[in-house]
Amino acid sequence: MTWIHVYLLAVGAVVTAGLSVVSITIGLAIGISVCAASLAKSAPLRVLARLYVSFFRGVPLLVLLLLIYHLLPQIGIDVPGTVAALVGLTLCTSAYQAETLRGGFVNIAPGLVEAGRMIGLSPAQILVRIRAPIALRLTLPALVNEAIMILKASSLVSVVGVGDITRTAQNLSSSTFRPIEMFATAGLFYLLLNIVVARGGNGLGRMLGLRG
């Protein structure tokens, strides 16, 4: 184990972090839309949202990645493995985030909304000023957990050839015949990234002025 190996793994960590940040961000945007659909008045919309959440939460990420990796070229979209990996991670996390957010909205005490109606807030104002901030308060810890989960799950992109932490460790392991050091160091990098995300989540919570 030399500094070169650590450096290469650190580069992999940057790839892992980048993949995670992008998929979580886009996943949140999709998740919010799917969550809105799942709470909509229209029954077909709700059914679609439920199917979406159920499918992308129910299929192992590895299988999802394989499917997307092979499916995209077949329907004429020729993209590098990294993009296929991003699409898979994003779809997966969007379903989890949609479900988490839905739980937040459903668990808002009805009285808080009624209080808004009584002082004359419009439905849109109630959504923006009351329901959304409270749902975020309720779900921020779960969303941070979800971010950590996708960070770890992103290790599966190594199977479609993306040079993340895990893929780098695999390559180094077979070239140096030192799997224990390489994979243990890879594990340390994941732990480190987890801590960063958890800290970031706490900071975000404070920034948004969320309190118990």
Partner 1 sequence: MTQDAAITMRNVVKRFGGNTVLRGVDLDVRHGEVTCLIGPSGSGKSTLLRCAAFLEEHDDGIIRIGGAPIGYDAAADGSRTRLPPGEIARVRRSIGMVFQQFNLWPHMTALGNVAEGLRQVLRLPKREAQDRAMAHLTRVGLAERASFYPSQLSGGQQQRVAIARALAMDPKIMLFDEPTSSLDPELTGEVLTVMRDLAAEGMTMLVVTHEIGFAAHVGQHIVFLDEGRIALEGRAGEVFRKPWHPRMAQFLQTYLDRGASVLLEG
Partner 2 sequence: MNFDALIEALPEIIDGLEVTIAIWLAGCLFGPLLGLAIALGRQFGPRWLDRGLWAFVEVIRGTPFLVQMFLLYYGGPFIGLDLDPTPAGLLGLIVYGAAYFSEILRGGLIAVPKGHVEAALCVGLDRGQVIRRILLPEMTLLVLPACVNMWVVLLKETAILSIITVPEFTLAVTAFGSATFAFTQSAAVLALAYWGLTELTGRLGRSLEARFDRFRLV
Give contact residues for partner 1 (rule: CB under 8 A).
Answer: 109, 111-112, 114-122, 125, 129-130, 133-134, 137, 209-212
Q: Other C-beta atoms within 10 Å of 7: how many? A: 10
**Which of partner 2, partner 1, none has residue 200 at its interface (CB below 5 to 8 Å by kind)?**
none
Q: Say which entry of partner 1, partner 2, none residue 184 contacts (CB below 5 to 8 A, set by partner kind).
A: partner 2
Residue of 48, 137, 152, 204 that binds partner 2 (CB under 8 A): 152
> What distances in angstroms separate CA 168 from CA 5, 34, 159, 162, 181, one per listed residue?
9, 35, 12, 9, 13
- Residue from 33, 82, 171, 194 in contact with partner 2 (CB under 8 A): 194
CB 194 within 8 A of CB 188: no
- Which listed option, partner 1, partner 2, none, makes contact with residue 76 (CB within 5 to 8 Å by class)? none
Q: Which residue, 28, 60, 7, 12, is CA-closest to 193? A: 12
Q: Counting Cβ atoms within 10 Å, is residue 156 exposed (0-12), middle (13-18) or buried (19+)?
A: buried
Complex with partner 1: residue 43 or 118, whichever CB lies closer:
118
DSSP letters of 16-61?
Answer: HHHHHHHHHHHHHHHHHHHHHHHTSS-HHHHHHHHHHHHHHHHS-H
Whether residue 51 contacts residue 117, with contact meaning beta carbons closer than 8 Å, is answered with no
Name the binder of 4 from partner 1, partner 2, none, CB < 5-8 A by kind. none
By CB under 8 A, is residue 55 in contact with partner 2?
yes
Per CB under 8 A, which of residues 165..184 are in contact with partner 2? 165-166, 169-170, 173, 179-180, 183-184
Which 57-86 positions form the footprint of partner 2 (CB under 8 A)? Answer: 57-64, 66-67, 70-71, 74
- For 116-149, the DSSP string reads HHHTT--HHHIIIIIIHHHHHHHHHHHHHHHHHH
Cβ closest to partner 2, residue 60 vs residue 123 = 60
By beta-carbon proximity to partner 2, the closer residue of 57 and 129 is: 57
Find the shortest distance in angstroms from Cβ 71 to partner 2.
Answer: 5
Distances (CA, A) of 94 to 29, 34, 74, 99: 8, 8, 24, 9
Which is closer to partner 1, CB of 89 or CB of 138? 138
Judge contact between 121 and 130, C-beta under 8 A.
yes
Residues forming contacts to partner 2 in the complex (CB under 8 A) are 54-55, 57-64, 66-67, 70-71, 74, 148, 152-156, 158-159, 165-166, 169-170, 173, 179-180, 183-184, 186-187, 190-191, 194
